[in-house]
Amino acid sequence: MALIRSNALPPKPWTDIFTDDTCIDRRKSQRTVPMKVLALGVGRTGTASLRVALERLGYLRCYHMMCASVENPPDCLMWHDALAAKYDGVGEFGREQWDQLLGDCQAVCDWPACAFAKELIEAYPNAKVILTTRDVDSWHASVMKTVHWRATDPEHRLVSHFSWAASMYYPMLNKFFATFFRGDFPNQGKQVYLDHVDEVRHLVPPERLLEYKISDGWGPLCEFLGEEVPDAQFPCGNDMAHFKKRCSTRNRRQMMNAALKACTVGGAVLLTGLAATMAFGRFSTR
C-alpha cells in the first residue's frame, strides 16, 4: 500500500537506445552511506551548481531532480508516491522509503525534495541543512521560463503518452506543481516560496542551518560544512538556455525511442501476419 505507483514499475523497453536512462528499482535499495546534507531550497536557486559543489567536496552523490528526470526515471514513481502520501493521505512514506530512494546519497537538493523539508529533517536529524535563497521576483521569472514551462509543455505531454521515461516523469512533475505550488504557480508561486523559506527557518536550529546564496561561493559553504576550500572555481550550471536545449533534445530522443518501438512492434505484427498467410496458403492447397 505504501508504494502504489512504484509497485507498478514498467520494464524498460529494449528499444530505448537513444537515451541513457537506467532502470534501478529503488524498492530493492537500502541506506549504504549516512545522509549528511539536506539542501532544502526550492529549485532554480542554484541547486544544480550546489549539487556539483557538494560532490566536489566529497559528498557521495547529491540527489537532484535530474537524478529522476534524466538519469533514473523509475525514481519518479517513488516521488509520486511520496507526494500522494503527504498531500492526499494515500499510502505511507517514511524513513524506510526515504532510505530506499536516497540510500546511496549523502546529500539531497532541489525539487521535489524541497516539498518534504519537515519529513526529511525528521528522518535525518543529524544532517546539516542548507537553505538556498534568491530574489523572489527573479526566481519566479526563472521558473516560469524553465521548470513551469517544462510542466506545461504540450510536446512533453504528448511524449509522455509514448515514452517509457516521460510516462513516469511528466505525471510526477505535474503532481508536484499541483500540490507544492497549490495548483497555480503563476499566481501562488511567490507566496509559496516565501512560506517555504519561513518554514525551513522555523524547523531547523540556527547552528544546523546555513542560509546561502549561490553567489557566495565556496567560503560560507565550506565553513558551515567544516571542509577545506577547493582550489577551483565554484561551479555554475543549468542556466535557462541550457535547460531548454536539454529538455528539447530529450523530447526528440524519447520520440526516437517510441518510433523505434512502434516500428519493431509493427514489423513483428507484419511478419506474423505474413507467416500466417503463407501457412494458410500451404494448408489450403493440400
Q: Assign domain 18-280 one CATH number from 2.60.40.10, 3.20.20.100, 3.40.50.300, 3.40.50.720.
A: 3.40.50.300
CA distance 134 to 260: 43
CB 38 within 8 A of CB 120: yes
Burial of 17 (0-12, 13-18, 19+ CB in 10 A): exposed
The H or E element spanning position 219 is helix 218-225
pLDDT bucket at 74, cuts 50 / 70 / 90: very high
Segments of 79-161 assigned E as strands: 107-108, 128-132
* d(C-alpha 148, C-alpha 126), whole Å: 33
Write down the pLDDT at residue 242: 86
According to the model, what pLDDT value does residue 270 have? 52
pLDDT digit string, tens, across residues 11-30: 999 999 999 999 999 999 99
Which of the four pLDDT bands, split at 50, 70 and 90, describes residue 278? very low
Given a cut of 50, whether residue 211 has pLDDT beyond it is yes
- Give residue limits of the domains in the chain: 18-280
**Residues 29 and 103 sit within 8 Å (Cβ to Cβ):** yes
